[in-house]
Structure 1
Amino acid sequence: MILKAKHSSFMTRLPQKMTLGFILIISIGTILLALPIATKGATPTPFIDVLFTATSATCITGLTVVNTAANWSIFGQVVILAMSEIGALGYMTFAVLLFNIIRRNLDLSTQIMVKESLNLENLSDVKSVTRYVIQLSALFQLSGAFLFAFDFIPRYGFGRGIYISIFHSVMSFCNAGFDVFGDSLMGFRNDPYVLIITVILIVAGGLGFLVWRDLLLYPYRKHLSLNSKLTLTTTLSLFIVAFVLLFLTERNLRILSGDTSFFTRLVNTLFLSVTPRTAGLITLPTDALHPGSIFLIIMLMFVGGTPGSTAGGIKTTTFGLLMLQSIAQLKGKKDVTFCKRRFSQANINRALLLIFLASMVIVTATLILTQTETIPKDFGLEYVLFEVLSAFGTVGLSLGLTPHLSVLGKLIIMFLMFIGRVGIFTSMYALLNRKTKLDLVRYPEENILIG
C-alpha cells in the first residue's frame, strides 16, 4: 500500500520533473552562450537573445533573433548543436547513457521518466529502446554527415567541410532548423543532392523511433503496431497532398529562375512539402510564396510529426485519429476503426482535448502578438499566425517577424516553443499540478443542440 502510494505520488509529480529537466538544459545552455567565447566580436549578445537561442535550440525549433553564422563563434555553434541533440532525443535518454557508462542500474523513478519521455508502454522496454534510440540516431546522423561531406568538403575545404557536414546532418535529423550558412539552404536550391539527403534525414527524424523499430523488426515479426500503421498512413498522405497542392499553388515554383531544370523544381517542391513538418530549413524565401502556399504551410506546421520523434505539432496520430473519427461519425458508425482495430473512447477524448488546448494557446498567443508587434503593410494576420504556429510546432520557419520581436513577443514565442517540445499535456499538468480525482456523484445525462 505504501509503495503504491509512493508510485502514485511520483506519477503526479512526473510532469513537473520532466518540465524542470528541460528548464535546466535551457539554463545551462543560456549560461554557456552568454560566455564571451560563444560570441563573435567584442559586442556581447543581449541576454534575452541568448535565452531565446538556448530555448530555440533545446526545443529544436530553429527560430532565431540573431544570425547563427554571423553572431555565434564555433564554440557557440557547438553549444547550440549539443542542446539541439539533447532536446531532440530527450535529456532522459542521455541520463540513461550516463548510467550505462558508469555501470549503474536505473532506479524505478528514472525508468518511469524515461518510459514517459519516449512514450513507451512497458518499463521492461526502457533499456533496450533507449539503446536503440541512441544507436539509430547515431547511424542516421553519421551517415548523413558522410554523404554531405562529398559535397561540402570540395566547397569549403576538409576541416570546414567536415564541421558543416556534421552540423547540418544533426540539425536535419533533429529537425532543429539552425544553419551555419547564414541563409538556411537558399544557396543550395540548385543542388538536388544536398536537398534529397536533407529530406531523408528530416523524414527519418520526424517519423519516430518506435515506428522505426517496428519497421526494422517487421521482417522478423511480420507485424506493425496500430500506432505505426496510422503514423505511416497519415504521414504518407500528408506528404502526397502537400506536394501536389504546393506544386499547384506555386505553379511549379515559378519564383525560381527560368533556366532551373524541371527535376530541380520537383526536388525544391518536395523539400517545401517536407520542411513545414518541423524542420525549419528553407531553400526559398518564405515571404515570397503564394498566399495559398503560406496557408498550407501553416496547416502542416499545426499537424507536425510523430509522437516520440524529433518533431512538434499536434502530431500525425492525433490528426489521423480525428480524421477517422469524423469519417465514422459522418457514416453513422458508433466505433472508430482502422486496420481491423477499434480506438478507445479515451483515446479519442484525449485527441479532442489536445486539439482544443492547442487551439486556445495559439489563439491567445496570436491575439497578444497582434497587440505587441508591428505588422508590415504588405502582410495581415498571417504574419503573426505563421510565427505562432512555427514556434508551437517547433518548426523554425518565419515570415520575418522573429528578428523584430519585442521583449514580450520573444517571451511569448519562447513559451510556445517550450510547450511545443515538452508537450502541451505535460506543460499543463506541471502548471496545474493535476491529480486524478474520483467523482462520487454522477449526474443524469442530457443532450444539447450541436451544429
Structure 2
Amino acid sequence: MRNWDPFHTYLLYKRFRKTGKFNASPPLVLAMGVLVLIVLGSVLLYLPIATTRPISYFAALFTATSAVTITGLTLVDIGTTFSHFGQFVIALLVQIGGLGIVTFAVLAALTLGKKISLQQQALALEAFNQTSVSKVRKTAFAVFKITIVIEAAGAAILFLRWWPESDLPTALFRSAFHTVMAFNNAGFSLQATQLSLYIGDPVTILTTTLLIILGGIGFSVLSEVGGKRRWSRFTPYTKLILLGTLVLNIVGFALIWALEFRNVGTLGTLPIQEQALSAWLQSVASRTAGFSSIDVGLLSDSSKLVSIVLMFIGGGSLSTASGIKIGTFIVLLAAAYSYIFQRPEVVLMKRAVSPDTIQKSLALLLVTLGLAVASVFLITIFDQEPFIDILFETISALSTTGMSYGLSAKLSVPSQSLLIILMFAGRLGPLTLVYSLATQSRSRIRYAETDIQVG
C-alpha cells in the first residue's frame, strides 16, 4: 500500500477531462457516492418545507449524515423539528443508506437489461464483499426482496398495534417510519422518549427487536436461511453468524438485567416483565440500532461499558449494521485460541481460516480502535464532559448505532464535526476508508525473515 500521490491524482484528473471517465478504485467510488447522497440529503432537510422551525445548515448536514450512515444521532428532536416531508426524507435516506447505493444501481442496470461493465462489477463486488458476479446479481435481488417482505410484515404488525391509539394516517406513518428505522438499524424516533411509552408492550418491543436482528445478521445469511432452511445445509459462515448473534444478545441481556435490576433510574422500579423486555431491547439495540425504552444516561457505568462492547462488535457483514462485525470478532477469538493452545491452523466449524482473512480482521480491529482512541482524545480536548459519556458517544457514532442520551447536541462544533466523520467512516468501514485514500501496489521484492520479540 502506498501513500497518496498528488501527481497520480493529477493524471487521473487529466484523463477524466480527456475521456470523461474517472478511473478510481471501487472503495473511492463508494465513498464519493455516499458523500454525494449526504450533501443532497442535507440540502433537502435544510429547505423550509422540511422543518417546522428554522435550523442551521450544520444541523441539517449532521442529520443527513446520520440518516445515510443509518446511525440515528441527531442535534434536534426529529419528531418536533422536522415536518412530515422532512421525516419522509430522513426515512428515504435511511432506506437508501441501509440497502446501499450500489444495490439500487445494480438492480436498475439488471432491470433495464444492461450488462454490468468490468468497473461496475468491481464496484459491486467491493460493496457486497463477494468474489463472483453471479453471486452479486443474486444478492442484489435478494436484498431487495427480503427488505420488502420483512418491512411490510413489520409495518403491518405495528400498524395493527398502534391504530387504536391514533388516527389512520398517523398510525400508518408511524408504523412505516419505525419499521424502516428498526430494520435498517437506525436509531431515529419520532418520539423524544424513544420506546418508553411501550416499555411493557411485548408486541412493540419484540417486533422492534426482531426487525433489528433480521436487519443486523446480513442479507446473505437471510437469503441462505430462507433458501436452504436446514441447519445441516448452511455454510459455516451462516452458522457462525447465527450462533454469534444469539450468544451476544443473550449475554448482553443477562448482564444488563443483572447490573440494572436494582437501579431505580432504569429497571429498579419496573415489574419483572418490563425489566426483561427493557433489558432485551437494550441488549439487541446496542448492536447498532440505538433504540431504548429507558433513560440510557441513567445506566450504571458497568452497563454502559457492556453496551459499548456490543456497539463496537456490531452485526453481520452485508447487513444494515456496522461495527467491526461478528465475523471479524469470531475470527480474532479463534486466532487467539489457536495461538494460545499452539494449534497449527485457525479452525472454525471444521474449516481452516485463511491467513488473509486473519490479517484483514486484525487490520480492521486496529484501524477501528485507532479511530476511536484518536477521536476520544480530541473530544476530551474540545469539551469537558465525563469520559465514559464521550467514549459512549464516540463508539455510538463510529459503530453507527445512534444510541445516545443527548450528548451530541451539547458538544462543540469541532466535536460534532468529528462525529460526522466517524459516522461516515463507520458506515463505509474503516478499512474500506483507508483503501479509498491509498492505492495498492504489488512488490516483487522478497525480504529475509527476522524474529521480533512481542508480548
Q: TM-score, normalised by structure 1?
A: 0.92
1: distance between equivalents of 2:353 and 2:115?
Answer: 36
Which of 35, 45, 63 does residue 53 from structure 1 map onto? 63
* Cα distance in 2 between the residues matched to 1:69 and 1:56: 15
Match of 2:434 in 1: 428
In 1, the alpha carbon distance for the partners of 2:23 and 2:207 equals: 41
> How do 1:306-385 residues align onto structure 2 when only pairs under 5 Å count?
306-375=316-385, 380-385=386-391
Q: Is the 8 A contact 2:66 2:423 kept in 1?
A: yes
Q: Does 1:443 align with 2:447?
A: yes
Distance 2:45 2:413 in 1: 19
Deviations along 1:153-175, one digit per CA (max 9) or x if unpaired, are 11121110000000000100000
Confirm or deny: 8 A CA contact 2:267 2:275 kept in the other structure: no
Alignment partners' CA distance in 1, 2:357 and 2:29:
25
Aligned identity (percent) is 33
Residue 21 (1) aligns with residue 27 (2): no
**Matched AA of 2:43:** I
Q: Which residue of 1 is the match for residue 295 of structure 2?
A: 285
| Paired AA for residue 412 in structure 1 | L
Tell me the distance in 1 between the aligned counterparts of 2:418 and 2:378.
9
- The aligned amino acid for 2:422 is L
Q: Whole-Å Cα distance in 2 between the matches of residues 388 and 273 of structure 1?
A: 18
d(CA) in 1 for partners of 2:338, 2:268: 47
| Contact 1:144–1:197, Cα closer than 8 Å, also in 2 | yes
Deviation per CA, 1:309-342: give whole Å up to 9, x if none: 0001000000011111111111111211011100
Residue from 390, 399, 406 that aligns with 2:396: 390
> Which whole-Å deviations, capped at 9, do the CAs of 1:40-72 have from their partners, x for residues lacking one?
03xx21011110000000000000001101110
Question: Residue 146 in 1 paired to residue 156 in 2?
Answer: yes
TM-superposed CA distance for 1:446, in Å, is 2.0
- Is 1:12–1:435's contact at 8 Å kept on the other side of the alignment? no
Q: Which residue of 2 aligns with 1:410?
A: 416
Distance in 1 (alpha carbons) for counterparts of 2:307 and 2:36: 32
- Coordinate RMSD, CA, aligned: 1.9
Letter in 2 for 1:429: Y
Contact kept in structure 1, 2:262 and 2:268, CA below 8 Å: no
Asked if 2 retains the 8 angstrom alpha-carbon contact of 1:60 and 1:175, the reply is: yes
Deviation at 1:10, TM superposition (A): 9.0
Flag structure 2 segments of 5+ consecutive residues without an equivalent.
Answer: 1-20
| CA contact 2:200–2:273 (8 Å) conserved in 1 | no
Alignment-derived partner of residue 190 in structure 2:
180
How far apart are 1:179 and its partner, in Å? Answer: 0.9
CA 1:49–1:256: 2 relative to 1, 3 Å: closer
Residues 16-61 of structure 1 show CA distances to partners (whole Å, capped at 9, x for unaligned) of 11110100110110111111100103xx210111100000000000
Kept after mapping to 2: 8 A contact 1:190/1:260: no
Q: Which amino acid aligns with 2:31?
A: T
Aligned to 1:197: 207
- Report if the CA contact (8 A) 2:260-2:267 is conserved: no
Given that 1:56 and 1:62 are in contact with CA atoms closer than 8 Å, whether structure 2 keeps it comes out as: yes
Contact 1:386-1:399 within 8 A present in 2 as well? no
Q: In structure 1, the residue corresponding to 2:25 is in which secondary structure?
A: helix
Q: Deviations over 1:225-255 (max 9, x none)?
A: 2221221222122112111111211127654
Alignment of 1:259-274 (within 5 A): 260-274=270-284
Letter in 1 for 2:39: S
Distance 2:267 2:339 in 1: 48
Alignment equivalent of 1:207, drawn from 176, 200, 217:
217
Aligned to 1:130: 140
**Other structure's SS at 2:233 match:** coil
Q: Deviations over 1:250-290 (max 9, x none)?
A: 12765457774322221111111101100011111111111
- Partners of 1:100 and 1:329 in 2: CA distance: 46
Task: Tell me if structure 1 keeps the 8 A contact 2:288–2:402.
Answer: yes
- Which of 255, 260, 271 aligns to 1:250? It is 260
Q: Distance in 2 between matches of 1:293 and 1:284?
A: 12
Cα distance in 1, alignment partners of residues 149 and 41 from structure 2: 26
Q: Specify the code of the residue in structure 2 equivalent to 1:448.
A: I
Q: Is the 8 A contact 2:179 2:211 kept in 1?
A: yes
Aligned residue identity for 2:387: L
> Which amino acid is 1:438 matched to?
S
Question: How far, CA to CA, are the matches of 2:135 and 2:345 in structure 1?
Answer: 31
Pair 1:220–1:195, CA change in 2 (3 A):
closer
CA contact (8 A) 1:175 1:205 kept: yes
> Which letter does structure 2 place at the counterpart of 1:320?
I
Distance in 2 between the 1:156 and 1:81 partners? 21
* Aligned-partner Cα distance in 2 for 1:221–1:241: 23
Deviations 1:53-109 (A, max 9, x none): 000000000000011011100010000000000000101111223334544343332
AA at the equivalent of 2:453: L
Whether contact under 8 Å (1:252, 1:266) holds in the other structure is: no
Rate the CA distance shift 1:308–1:253 in 2: closer, same or farther, 3 A.
farther
* 8 A Cα contact 1:392 1:417, kept in partner: yes
**Does structure 2 retain, via aligned residues, the 8 Å contact 1:176–1:396?**
yes
| Contact 1:53/1:65, CA 8 A, preserved across alignment | yes
CA distance in structure 2 between the aligned counterparts of 1:284 and 1:255, rounded to whole angstroms:
8
- Separation in 2 of the partners of 1:353 and 1:189? 40
